[in-house]
Amino acid sequence: MASITSLTFDQAAYNTNDPINLTVVYVADVPSVVPTTFTATTTITDASGAQTATSSAPFVVNVAQPDADTLATTDTGSRVWTEASNDGSTAVFQAVA
């Protein structure tokens, strides 16, 4: 089950037209990315066409999930909140005071 761990503002109070930054720490129900392992293989072939060496190594790609959880912020002052960043566990929302 998804949960919000904390909401933290960058200041205690704002003046009119000040930028507001809200940091949201959360645990998603559906991850925004899933690490997926692939394997790359390199082969050496000599001039006669004979394969002389081969080697493989794994690498990870964080594959975005189309059905990941989404976040939204609203407030009682009807400000427009924009998601400035989101790494899958911490999101920053911005608005104008």
pLDDT digits (tens, 9 = 90+) for 19-74: 999 999 998 877 677 889 999 999 999 999 888 899 999 999 988 777 667 899 99
For 40-82, what is the HEC assignment? EEEEEECCCCCEEEEEEEEEEEEEECCCCCCCCCCCCCCCCCE
pLDDT over 90 (residue 1): no
Q: What is the pLDDT of residue 32?
A: 72
Burial (Cβ within 10 Å: 0-12, 13-18, ≥19) of residue 91: buried
Domain ranges for the chain, please list them. 3-96
7 or 49, which is more confident:
7
Q: What is the pLDDT of residue 68?
A: 67
Q: What is the pLDDT of residue 7?
A: 97
The pTM for the full model equals 0.64
Backbone phi, psi, residue 93, to 5°: -110, 145
Cβ-contact 1, 25 below 8 angstroms: no
